[in-house]
Structure 1
Amino acid sequence: MGVELAAEQASSYGDLDNFHYTDSQLVYHVKNALKAALEGDCDNYNQLVGVMHHSERLLPDEVALLVTCLKSLSGAVSCIDVVHHRSLLAAIFGMRLWNYSTDVMDALVELVISLASSSAQYVDLCLDMLVSNFVPPYSFLELLKQPRGLTRKDQVLDRVHSTLKDIANLVPLSPLRLEKVIRERMPNIYMKEPLIVMYVENMLRLESGAIGELVGSTMLVAIVDRLIDLDVEIAWDDILHDDFSKGIFEMEIEDLEGPADDLQHDGDEFPRQTWIERFFGGNVVAEKLDSLMVLTFEHLNSSNESGRLDQVFEVLLQSFQKTVLTAYKSKFAQFVMFYACSLDPENCGMKFAVTLVNTFESSAYPEWRMSAVACLASYLARAKFVSASFVASILLRLINWCSDYCKNQDGDSNPKAHKVFYAGCQAIMYVLCFRMRSMLAIPRLRSQLFLLRLDEILKHPLNPLKVCLPSIVEEFLRLAKSSRIFTVPENHVPNGLLESELSMAFGGLERLDMFFPFDPCLLKKSDRFIRPNFVYWSMVRSTYEEEEDDDDEGTSDEDVHELRTGGSRMMSDGLDRSDDEEDSDLDDFDYSLNKMSITPKDPPSYRFGVQMPSRIRPSTSPESL
């Protein structure tokens, strides 16, 4: 009797003993069919293979037949030959759990586990089959929008992940193979968004699941790599298609200049026609990246709630150093680090900044050092959760490095020879443009600012003021003049706002180090995670109107002298402070930010400081956007 007929007859009866085929007898028939195929008799074998191909709208008898055959194969895996039974294996590993009822799913995963544990030659095939079920067939995409589709999704994925865990327990080396399979199976950036998102969901589920300790780090690194792939696919022409010569800061300011009735001042909403919609409405790649970023943010939040953030952050930090930091024109992927730091400022937030400053000080690659210090400056300027005291301590390290560099140099300005030095100077000025006023609001930090050795750097023959980006230099000098902290001789101040040959040589064309990575996030869904902890240029600029009226009554020469000569003991070992002092600093810093009005009083063309770009971009115009 043929295998198909025997199985069909046996499966048609609830009491198998009343018919003459027990489970062991069915296994025996399947084994015979497999052995006969080795000798050239393929009739029963072909029937068995044909049963495996049943998937479309199965009748109850057909479901029972398929379940019976799968279970029989589980007991006969020792007779399956990877070469001679290739068609059977192809049929089994080509089955999609999504197409079957739960009875068939259970029988199929049981067979997969049996195959994986029977021989090492099946492990990769089994893992590949399971990973292929991370995403459904295209025909299921619409069904997933309905409750029954979501139920099927849970039924499939629960079985996939439990089976991966069972195989890992039976085959200890399988997680190493799983990492490779997942990377190879990962959807490319052109695949439909729901499929990419679902695949990454499963990767994150593995990261936090039972075998997360074995494969978790690989999952996170692979996800960051995919974020970078999507990120670099978004060209700047897509973002600045209206006017490439216009900086992102200008656009941010312009959109905030709308009618007051259009603004929600809770920090979560902007006018309907925001710059986010303006740039990325209909951009398919940006929408995919946005969805994956949100998924990653939610995973980070969940990891924080479960006490796993430290572990996850270490992996992300290593990945950031190897990929994001060196990626050409990464625009948004780095916000994964920003959000992780915002969840734990005292640990992750400080560790991130220290890693960047260490890279700047000691890396063997100049480009990495320049990228690191640009990222550091952008982070310190934009991260609302970083205390003013910590910003000051990092600035001290940067200033000390630049000062030591100056002591060993006596030549004239040379952008190419001293590019790391100029990148450091530019970073210092950029951070001060954002943070100087908030630090001045804290008496202890105000005293320390007067004691920094920035004057000697700015007056050095290397003359960073004539090399760094003019827009940043101009804004910095404006703030320095009003605060009377830093004095610069006239011959060191660049004339006008046009770029000199020196600054153009430093900026160059298409330079990675000319970007400040933490500009306002232009991804629509991701923005809500970043906005509560983000310092916008409009917030900083809005304090000018409040304080400029006081400039004439500002710090007197006597006050300056007292600040310059007093308080030196505070600077002895890098801004040491007690916990109470730190809490006070944080309170003062929060207050200085909270009082900043979001809506500026004057139009964007009122002064050049408004147009200071957050993103140092290639020298394509007089303003070096």
Structure 2
Amino acid sequence: MGAPEMDEPSFSGSELDYHVKNALKAVIQGDCDFYNQLVAVIHHKERLVAEEVALLVTCLKAVAGAVSCIHIIHHRSLLAGIFGMSLWDYGTDVMDALVELLISLASSSGEFVDLCLETLVINFIPPSSAPYFMELLKQPRGLSKKNQVLDRVHATLGDIRNVVPLSPLRLEKIVRDRMPNIYTKEPFIVMYVENMLRLESGSMGELVGSTMLVSIVDRLIELDVELAWDEILQDDFHKGIFDMELEDLEGHVDYTEQDCNEHTRDALIQRFFSGNLVAEKLDSLMVLTFEHLKSCSESGRLVQVFETLLQSFQKTILTAYKSKFAQFIVFYGCSLDPENCGKMFGSLLVNIFVSSLNPEWRMSAVAYLASYLARSKFVSIPFVATMLDSMVNWCFLYSKNQKQGGDINPKAHKVFYAGCQATMYVLCFRMRQMLALPQLNSQLLFMRIEDILGHSLKPLQVCLPSIVDEFMRLAKANHVFSTPPSFSNDCPLESEHSRAFGGTERLDMFFPFDPCLLRKCDRFIRPNYVYWSMVRSTYDDDDDEEEEGSSDEDDAEVNIENGMSIPHDGSGRSYDEGNFDVDEFNYSLDKMSITPRDSSHKFGGRIQRHMQMPSRIRPSMSPESL
């Protein structure tokens, strides 16, 4: 069926303008003949031949010249046709005529501004009724179509802002309200977020940018909490938390590091996230956000954007009960500018811990701080020492204000125990580096830690035994205490307090920057990340030295590079070189956090101990929001 014919097909442009104005006025008097023909042309959406395209363009331009005559009630069918048009359905001539009409409508009356803005926002993605667009976008001509549409959408939004200065304030609400939900197909939600980030970095960024970023983080969190983390943390609910390790390939004596690394990571992703649409959407959106942050860094505006991210972090991520990966957006932002963003993030966390009135926020903040200081390769050791000093000082003053000889009460002192556990966790990763820098006077720090741990509040009986065990082993090996810590001799590492702190049901609690299991995100996180294997290898050298009385200098060599100790693997290269991804994943996914389940294997007639970290550290009866 062809397009409807106008009664006077030979009208010139000016004559058609005149007749369109009269038709719009006549509708109010009840004469709808010419108006109905005009509406039919606008509504005609089937495949158009050249003559039909020309007629549609002419009608759109004529209506643009008559917008002063359009009434939102009397001409609702015409307006429905205009606002129902999709730029994706037409060629460039129709696109240009339509956006010109939208600008004219927006500037003619405030009644049309929101409708025009919403029409443009709807065009952020192709019509969901035409899924073939997504296949088309994988081809060069599809990408060309995408650019034609979106370039016009954003240019038109800018033109409307110029004629309606307050339109950006109305636009941000429309963009937020129209944002696809977490159940939308991945290509559509990704493209929509691309447009949000384009707004953030565009000419309207100063007005709408913060709203775009906050909305994106909110959506990341919604996707994040949808992931079934319980299945990852445990195969059997009745297992002890120390046995809840992801694939433990080290149990096989014939394993190789490369086999363990590659198999473990791929097996985990395949097992838990292969075909998981939620994880794939989260992964893609986080990569999109990473790339945007990198672009902001290159253009010199990262600090401004990061300040908005921090506000969103405090409101959304910090308080999220089951956030698993979304927080790495902040981690990556810090890695791009450690001196500004990195220190800003650490300072924010320590301030929340020492001064907030909300105990849950304080415990969550100190867990984030501990994980950040432990896992960030880009954070300098002096900064780690500064943050630790603030944490330890607070715990020290708190313990001094408590009576000696009182009963252990994990619930009453949960913020204190959270601080103690965080301190020990960081030192499990950073102790060797701190002691290796002579300019750091760590004697006072460790004296205070010794006083804290020896207090009658007995944090060693309340904090996660895995962390306590590893910390005490390292403290003894490095002689950090003035006298052997006798206070640890008579206190079992696992107690009813430890088991009760946080509740045995809280199996989804973990240190927030434990390794990220999202495949595409990995390339952004890995170069900036401290894996436990990188730290443990330096400690294992000490164990071998104690057992055998000698050590291989090549194997034991440690480089202090940018505040990060990077052990050699015996081949003369560091973990920063070459095939970095293989070595960094050594034990990183199946023994990610701290502690050791004691597993012994015989090699050459002697026993070699492997101190293994549990897959996800969570406080065993540690603060509820850790």
If the TM-score is normalised by the length of the shorter chain, which range does it land in? 0.7 to 0.9
Q: Distance in 1 between matches of 2:326 and 2:418?
A: 22
Q: For residues 194 and 424 of structure 1, do their structure 2 counterparts lie closer, same or farther at Cα, with a shift above 3 Å needed?
A: same
Identity across the alignment (%): 66
Task: Report if aligned partners of 1:370, 1:513 keep a CA contact under 8 Å in 2.
Answer: no
Q: Distance in 2 between matches of 1:368 and 1:526?
A: 27
Q: Partner residue of 2:118?
A: 128
Structure 2 gap segments, 5+ residues each: 550-558, 576-582, 601-608
Q: Distance in 1 between matches of 2:221 and 2:509?
A: 18
Task: Report if aligned partners of 1:399, 1:452 keep a CA contact under 8 Å in 2.
Answer: no
| Equivalent of residue 96 in structure 1, options 86, 96, 115 | 86
The answer to whether structure 1 residue 350 and structure 2 residue 350 are counterparts is no
- 1:339-363 alpha-carbon deviations (Å, 9 max, x no partner): 0001111111111001000010111
3-state SS of the aligned residue for 1:445?
coil
Q: How does 1:7-22 map to 2 (within 5 A)?
A: 9-10=9-10, 21-22=11-12
The answer to whether structure 1 residue 115 and structure 2 residue 117 are counterparts is no
Q: Distance in 1 between matches of 2:141 and 2:287?
A: 25
Deviation at 1:438, TM superposition (A): 2.0
* More divergent stretch after superposition (505-514 vs 384-393): 505-514
Q: Partner residue of 2:291?
A: 298
The answer to whether structure 1 residue 165 and structure 2 residue 155 are counterparts is no
| Equivalent of residue 390 in structure 2, options 394, 397, 401 | 397
* TM-score computed with the length of structure 2 as normaliser: 0.85
| Equivalent of residue 504 in structure 1, options 487, 499, 503 | 499
3-state SS of the aligned residue for 1:251?
coil
The answer to whether structure 1 residue 455 and structure 2 residue 447 are counterparts is no
Q: Distance in 1 between matches of 2:7 and 2:387?
A: 74
| Equivalent of residue 84 in structure 1, options 74, 82, 104 | 74
Deviation at 1:615, TM superposition (A): 2.6
* More divergent stretch after superposition (521-530 vs 237-246): 237-246
2:517 counterpart letter in structure 1: L
Q: Distance in 1 between matches of 2:545 and 2:487?
A: 28
Q: For residues 199 and 256 of structure 1, do their structure 2 counterparts lie closer, same or farther at Cα, with a shift above 3 Å needed?
A: farther
Q: Distance in 1 between matches of 2:546 and 2:197?
A: 53
| Equivalent of residue 374 in structure 2, options 381, 390, 406 | 381
Q: Distance in 1 between matches of 2:469 and 2:411?
A: 22
Deviation at 1:202, TM superposition (A): 0.3
Deviation at 1:440, TM superposition (A): 2.1
- 1:407-429 alpha-carbon deviations (Å, 9 max, x no partner): 11113211111111110001000
Q: For residues 392 and 8 of structure 1, do their structure 2 counterparts lie closer, same or farther at Cα, with a shift above 3 Å needed?
A: farther
Deviation at 1:307, TM superposition (A): 0.8
| Equivalent of residue 329 in structure 1, options 297, 305, 322 | 322
| Equivalent of residue 605 in structure 1, options 599, 607, 613 | 599
Q: Partner residue of 1:55?
A: 45
Task: Report if aligned partners of 2:464, 2:620 keep a CA contact under 8 Å in 1.
Answer: no
Q: Distance in 1 between matches of 2:543 and 2:445?
A: 20
Q: Distance in 2 between matches of 1:210 and 1:461?
A: 60
Q: Distance in 2 between matches of 1:274 and 1:431?
A: 29
Task: Report if aligned partners of 1:514, 1:618 keep a CA contact under 8 Å in 2.
Answer: no
Q: Distance in 2 between matches of 1:421 and 1:73?
A: 70
Q: Distance in 2 between matches of 1:327 and 1:4?
A: 56
| Equivalent of residue 38 in structure 1, options 15, 28, 34 | 28
1:605 counterpart letter in structure 2: S
Task: Report if aligned partners of 2:87, 2:123 keep a CA contact under 8 Å in 1.
Answer: yes
2:474 counterpart letter in structure 1: L
Q: Distance in 1 between matches of 2:288 and 2:391?
A: 35
Q: How does 1:253-292 map to 2 (within 5 A)?
A: 254=249, 259-260=255-256, 262=258, 273-292=266-285
Deviation at 1:604, TM superposition (A): 7.4
3-state SS of the aligned residue for 2:191?
helix
Deviation at 1:444, TM superposition (A): 3.2
- Note the aligned Cα RMSD (angstroms): 3.0
Q: How does 1:91-490 map to 2 (within 5 A)?
A: 91-138=81-128, 139=130, 140-240=133-233, 242-243=235-236, 245=239, 250-251=245-246, 254=249, 259-260=255-256, 262=258, 273-410=266-403, 411-445=406-440, 447-448=442-443, 452-486=447-481, 487=483, 489-490=485-486
Task: Report if aligned partners of 2:242, 2:597 keep a CA contact under 8 Å in 1.
Answer: no
Q: For residues 608 and 188 of structure 1, do their structure 2 counterparts lie closer, same or farther at Cα, with a shift above 3 Å needed?
A: same
Task: Report if aligned partners of 2:250, 2:260 keep a CA contact under 8 Å in 1.
Answer: no
Q: Distance in 1 between matches of 2:452 and 2:47?
A: 77
* More divergent stretch after superposition (198-207 vs 590-599): 590-599
Q: Distance in 2 between matches of 1:159 and 1:450?
A: 60
3-state SS of the aligned residue for 1:605?
strand
Q: Partner residue of 1:75?
A: 65
Q: For residues 608 and 496 of structure 1, do their structure 2 counterparts lie closer, same or farther at Cα, with a shift above 3 Å needed?
A: farther
* More divergent stretch after superposition (167-176 vs 438-447): 438-447
- 1:495-542 alpha-carbon deviations (Å, 9 max, x no partner): 555x32211222225559942100100101001110111111122222
* More divergent stretch after superposition (123-132 vs 30-39): 30-39
- 1:84-118 alpha-carbon deviations (Å, 9 max, x no partner): 11111111111110000100000000000000111
* More divergent stretch after superposition (606-615 vs 457-466): 606-615
Q: Distance in 2 between matches of 1:423 and 1:62?
A: 71
Task: Report if aligned partners of 1:381, 1:430 keep a CA contact under 8 Å in 2.
Answer: yes
Deviation at 1:274, TM superposition (A): 4.0
Q: For residues 248 and 553 of structure 1, do their structure 2 counterparts lie closer, same or farther at Cα, with a shift above 3 Å needed?
A: closer
Q: Partner residue of 1:65?
A: 55
Q: Distance in 1 between matches of 2:539 and 2:178?
A: 54
Q: Partner residue of 1:615?
A: 617
Task: Report if aligned partners of 1:465, 1:473 keep a CA contact under 8 Å in 2.
Answer: yes
Task: Report if aligned partners of 2:334, 2:345 keep a CA contact under 8 Å in 1.
Answer: yes
Deviation at 1:252, TM superposition (A): 7.3
Q: For residues 453 and 289 of structure 1, do their structure 2 counterparts lie closer, same or farther at Cα, with a shift above 3 Å needed?
A: same
Task: Report if aligned partners of 2:335, 2:378 keep a CA contact under 8 Å in 1.
Answer: yes
Q: Distance in 1 between matches of 2:263 and 2:292?
A: 26
Task: Report if aligned partners of 2:538, 2:567 keep a CA contact under 8 Å in 1.
Answer: no
- 1:432-460 alpha-carbon deviations (Å, 9 max, x no partner): 11111222222333754665411110111
* More divergent stretch after superposition (23-32 vs 374-383): 23-32
Deviation at 1:215, TM superposition (A): 0.7
Q: Distance in 2 between matches of 1:545 and 1:188?
A: 48
Q: Distance in 1 between matches of 2:343 and 2:323?
A: 22
3-state SS of the aligned residue for 1:9?
coil
1:49 counterpart letter in structure 2: V
Q: For residues 546 and 8 of structure 1, do their structure 2 counterparts lie closer, same or farther at Cα, with a shift above 3 Å needed?
A: farther
Q: Distance in 2 between matches of 1:241 and 1:451?
A: 36
Task: Report if aligned partners of 1:340, 1:348 keep a CA contact under 8 Å in 2.
Answer: yes
Deviation at 1:36, TM superposition (A): 1.2
3-state SS of the aligned residue for 1:524?
coil
* More divergent stretch after superposition (32-41 vs 281-290): 32-41
The answer to whether structure 1 residue 540 and structure 2 residue 535 are counterparts is yes
Structure 1 gap segments, 5+ residues each: 11-20, 555-583
Q: Distance in 2 between matches of 1:161 and 1:476?
A: 55
3-state SS of the aligned residue for 1:453?
helix
* TM-score computed with the length of structure 1 as normaliser: 0.86
